[in-house]
Amino acid sequence: MKPDFSKLDGLIPAIVQDFKTNEILMLGFMNEEAWDKTLDTKKATFYSRTRNKIWMKGEESGNIQEVKDILIDCDNDTVLLKVNQIGGAACHTGYRSCFYRAVSDKDLAELKVVGEKIFNPEEKYGSGKK
Amino acid sequence: MKPDFSKLDGLIPAIVQDFKTNEILMLGFMNEEAWDKTLDTKKATFYSRTRNKIWMKGEESGNIQEVKDILIDCDNDTVLLKVNQIGGAACHTGYRSCFYRAVSDKDLAELKVVGEKIFNPEEKYGSGKK
């Protein structure tokens, strides 16, 4: 048996949570190859929908995610990774979490930054990356 | 502006987290109607991919989710709801969280129940519901 990859064209959502603080760091998608690789290496690995390829989180930035625990939901179609976030930040923008903005209205007119910025993305990736 | 519903056929994943304990309770999907309804009512509302319709979490069980905060990720394509879980359990199986089983291998051969069971689903929904 495997997680149920059938509902989302071969993908499952993978929630990434800090194993110490329980803060949500990001959400990625996995195909079966990314799932197997994550289990084999204990480093969070995803499938990029925009680049159409497997990527290990932190392969460029160094901010890898060491997988401490994996939980699966009641329908076997979503997983939750509890990780040790190397470098202290998951988001390519430099924030600790990708969820660094609070929403107060349905049209996203007033997004309020509530997260903590850990690094400067231009220094980390060079100016070529947004 | 709205969340980006284009990447997943009109849907976005919505992570649901307990606003006090930071425990992950479940993951649902929202279409634009479910998103608007969640913001209007402050009660977590999703789109069911299996039933092809909008549903408010708890409409049958009474275990509604009062939305305290909403965060959106860096790509505007995933949201995180911080909620007060009425009834103390989110999962239809009676567990507090849908993520009540730990995975130790990629084929899910040895799932270990680690979550807390709060109610008996047969008493809550009657024997007609799994």
Helix, strand or coil for residue B56? Answer: strand
Question: What is the pLDDT at residue A128?
Answer: 52
Rg (CA), chain A: 15
B contact test, residue of A72, A81, A96 with most B CBs within 10 A = A72
Check CB contact under 8 Å for A24 and B39.
no
Neighbours of B21 (CB within 10 A): 11
**A82 occurs within a structural domain:** yes
**CB contact A113 to B (< 8 Å):** no
Question: What is the pLDDT at residue B125?
Answer: 82
Beta strand pairing call for B79-85 and B12-18 = parallel
CATH of the domain at B60: 3.10.20.810
For chains A and B, CB pairs below 8 A equal 111
Chain A residues 2-61 with CB within 8 Å of chain B: 2-3, 7-8, 13, 15, 17, 21-24, 26-27, 35-36, 39-40, 49
pLDDT per position in chain B (130 positions), as tens? 999 999 999 999 999 999 999 999 999 999 999 999 999 999 999 999 889 999 999 999 999 999 999 999 999 999 999 999 999 999 999 999 999 999 999 999 999 999 999 999 988 887 654 4
Q: In angstroms, rounded to a whole number, what is the distance separating the alpha carbons of residues B90 and B58?
A: 8
Neighbours of B69 (CB within 10 A): 14
Domain of A52, in residue numbers? 6-93
**B68 occurs within a structural domain:** yes
Q: In angstroms, rounded to a whole number, what is the distance separating the alpha carbons of residues A9 and A112?
A: 34
**pLDDT tens profile A74-112:** 999 999 999 999 999 999 999 999 999 999 999 999 999
Neighbours of A50 (CB within 10 A): 7
**B11 occurs within a structural domain:** yes
Q: Residue A55: beta bridge partners?
A: A46
Q: Chain A closest CA to B17's CA: distance in Å?
A: 9
Neighbours of B13 (CB within 10 A): 20
Residue B14 CA to its chain's centroid (Å): 7
| Closest partner CB to B72 (pick from A15, A72, A101) | A101
ipTM for this prediction: 0.95
Q: What is the rounded (10 degree) CA torsion for B48, B111, A55, A77?
A: -10
Comparing B21 with A125, the larger pLDDT belongs to: B21
**A32 occurs within a structural domain:** yes
**pLDDT tens profile A31-86:** 999 999 999 999 999 999 889 999 999 999 999 999 999 999 999 999 999 999 99
**B129 occurs within a structural domain:** no
Q: Residue B55: beta bridge partners?
A: B46
**B56 occurs within a structural domain:** yes
Q: Chain B closest CA to A6's CA: distance in Å?
A: 12
Model-level pTM? 0.95
CB < 8 Å to A52, chain B: none
* Tally of domains within chain B: 1
Max Cα–Cα distance, chain B, nearest Å? 44
Q: Chain B closest CA to A5's CA: distance in Å?
A: 13
**B114 occurs within a structural domain:** yes
**A110 occurs within a structural domain:** no
Chain A residues 67-106 with CB within 8 Å of chain B: 69-76, 78-80, 91-93, 95, 98-106
Helix, strand or coil for residue B102? Answer: strand
